[in-house]
Amino acid sequence: MQNRWSTEAAEKLSGLDLLVYTTRLIGADPTLVLWGGGNSSLKAVCADHTGRETRVLWIKGSGSDMRTATPQNFTALRLDELLPLLGRDHMTHEDMVAYQIRCMLQPGQPNPSVETLLHAFIPAPHIYHTHADAICALLDVPDSRSILQEVYGERIGVVPYRRPGFDLAKLVSHVVHEQRDIEALFLDKHGLVTWGESAEDTYVKTVQAVHKAEKFATTRKTQNGWKAPPQGVGLPRHRHHDSAVRFAQALLKTISGRERKVLIYDDSAEVLAFLNAPDAKEIAEVGPFTPDHMLHTKAKTLFICSIRTLYHLLDERAEVKERRNQLRHPVYQKPARVANDPNQVWSWDITKLPGPVTWSYYYLSVILNIFSRYVVGWMIATAESTVLAQRLIKDTCEKQQIGTGQLTLHADRDSSRKSKPVAWLLADLGVTNTHSRPYSSDDNPFSEAQFKMLKYRPDFPERFGSIEDARVFCQAFFPWYNGVNLHGRSRETVKRADQFEPERLRG
């Protein structure tokens, strides 16, 4: 950092005018403070409205810019009314602001800074507070205290981060009074505070502190800094500019709205070296560097890369996947049911029988004992009905004398088979209820095989003339199916089923 102090200009000034000169000197360097950031103060003796001499604290008003400061941007407060606040343990922000306004020497001056008490509690006459980039580079890291001691030695004070206000001012006062030999105070994750007996001495301390931080940062950058991309890698410079123009047009159209915006394009070697780093995106999205930056850059950044790089980054995080808004179905386990004896597991399904005209059907409900493949119950109706389903299940269970906890009934997921009345009935009967997976046609294979055999019979008609015709056909089919056809069953299985209770199983 360059020392811009001019003895020739400063020796003609005193009091508030000298404070304004030093303030503008600091504000002229954007690496020290940005618009609205930083602060400066002077303790002096002034006459109040009665003519009595009063100790006052001149401090930059809230929201003023150090670069263009004038005497009208400073506020005078009665110092002897501020210092008693050192005895308080706690003070809300609202109470602090109201108290500071009552301590103003003259009405109509700018509202005092939120850091007024910090300046008041440090006994030195000249105090400057800056958010230098080089200083914040040391403070905005996890091990900032050890780095500060490496750079500046032991004659510094370090204050843990606190929001500007009463608590921070009390903590600063405690450190300054406990460590009387310190030459500078560092507010962690915030900035630098220097003080002295003269304006020049205090300004020089600021310059020296920032210069040491810059020197340290340069050394570390040489050791661990980002490397610029090799020559010949990437797009030619004119291609960069063409891409930037196209992007700027799209970006301006998006962000401008009704207000005109200005974009600044920077492809300097330093910027390209940063963008070439593997962790550039993570660093860019950390957040504002100093409180000053918050006023200008806001809380978030936009980091844009090529489509190819974007997909590489997503793939590293296992985030390359289907981007369309699709319905995500849960994973269903394929049902598995084992029957070692008759009437342990039944399969229930419904099929359509063609009616006398196109698009007319009769609905055949069949309950199958999967151990013996016997049909234990069936019903034909003109429509699917929960009431009829209840009747079929109840009559079949009574006919087969099913006991509580004996039977599992498996079915598809159609409305009548998943209805609450059917579920309640099965619960009352002590029957376990299971269903096939959604959109799975092979989870009920025994019923599907039985329906296929029904419809592939040589005497199966193309259409049934009436529901009575359908019932007559089924009354002839099911005795043949249960008593004559083996359809994959061994004769031993049939014999065992017949011995179990032949009358009930054949019914």
Q: Look at 182-186, 260-264, 375-379 and tell me which has the smallest mean pLDDT.
A: 260-264
Confidence of residue 239 (pLDDT cuts 50, 70, 90): low
Q: Are 364 and 350 in contact (CB under 8 A)?
A: yes
Does residue 285 or residue 154 have the better pLDDT? 154
pLDDT at residue 466 greater than cutoff 90: yes
| The pair of three-digit structure tokens given for residue 258, joined into one six-digit string | 């009704």
Q: Look at 106-120, 271-285, 328-342, 479-493 and tell me which has the smallest mean pLDDT.
A: 479-493
pLDDT at 44: 94
> Nearest-CA neighbor of 244 among 228, 223, 265?
265
Stretch 446-461: mean pLDDT:
91
Name the CA radius of gyration of the chain, rounded: 44
| The pair of three-digit structure tokens given for residue 31, joined into one six-digit string | 């690496």
pLDDT per residue as tens digits for the range 163-192: 889 999 999 999 999 888 888 899 998 889
pLDDT at 498: 54
Q: Are 78 and 49 in contact (CB under 8 A)?
A: no
Could you tell me the pTM of the whole model? 0.53
Does residue 42 or residue 488 have the better pLDDT? 42
pLDDT at 503: 46
| Three-state secondary-structure class, residue 158 | strand
Report DSSP letters for 279-343, one per residue: THHHHHTS--SSHHHHHHH-S-------HHHHHHHHHHTT-----S----PPPPPPP----SSTT
pLDDT at residue 501 greater than cutoff 50: no
| Helical residues (DSSP H) of 83-165, grouped into ranges | 93-102, 116-121, 133-139, 144-152
Report DSSP letters for 364-418, one per residue: EEEEEETTTTEEEEEEEESS--HHHHHHHHHHHHHHTTPPTTT-EEEE---TTTS
Stretch 221-249: mean pLDDT:
62
| The pair of three-digit structure tokens given for residue 344, joined into one six-digit string | 């342990």
Helix 445-455, helix 467-483: angle, nearest 10: 110
pLDDT at 435: 85
| The pair of three-digit structure tokens given for residue 79, joined into one six-digit string | 């110092």
pLDDT per residue as tens digits for the range 57-112: 999 988 788 888 999 999 999 999 999 999 999 999 999 999 999 999 988 899 99
pLDDT at 1: 74
The per-residue pLDDT of the chain, averaged, comes to 83
Quote the CA–CA distance of 205 and 184 in Å, as a whole number: 8
Going from N- to C-terminal start, the domains of the chain cover: 7-224, 227-273, 277-321, 345-506
Architecture of domain 7-224: 3-Layer(aba) Sandwich (3.40)
Confidence of residue 42 (pLDDT cuts 50, 70, 90): very high
Quote the CA–CA distance of 153 and 216 in Å, as a whole number: 13
pLDDT at residue 502 greater than cutoff 80: no
Longest Cα separation, the chain: 126
Confidence of residue 240 (pLDDT cuts 50, 70, 90): low
Stretch 267-283: mean pLDDT:
76
Stretch 377-385: mean pLDDT:
92
Quote the CA–CA distance of 489 and 446 in Å, as a whole number: 12
pLDDT at 301: 76
As a CATH number, domain 345-506 is 3.30.420.10
Beta-bridge partners for 90:
none
Q: CA triplet 70, 75, 79: central angle to 5 degrees? A: 140
pLDDT per residue as tens digits for the range 470-489: 999 999 999 999 888 865 55
What's the burial of 36, exposed, middle or buried (CB within 10 Å: 0-12/13-18/19+)? Answer: middle
pLDDT at 92: 92
Say what percent of the chain tops pLDDT 90: 38
Q: Look at 162-176, 383-397, 433-447, 481-495 and tell me which has the smallest mean pLDDT.
A: 481-495
Helix 144-152, helix 199-224: angle, nearest 10: 110
Sole residue written with tokens 């056809």: 485
pLDDT at 36: 66
Quote the CA–CA distance of 373 and 371 in Å, as a whole number: 6
Beta-bridge partners for 374:
369
Helix 15-27, helix 199-224: angle, nearest 10: 10
pLDDT at 232: 45
pLDDT at residue 123 greater than cutoff 60: yes
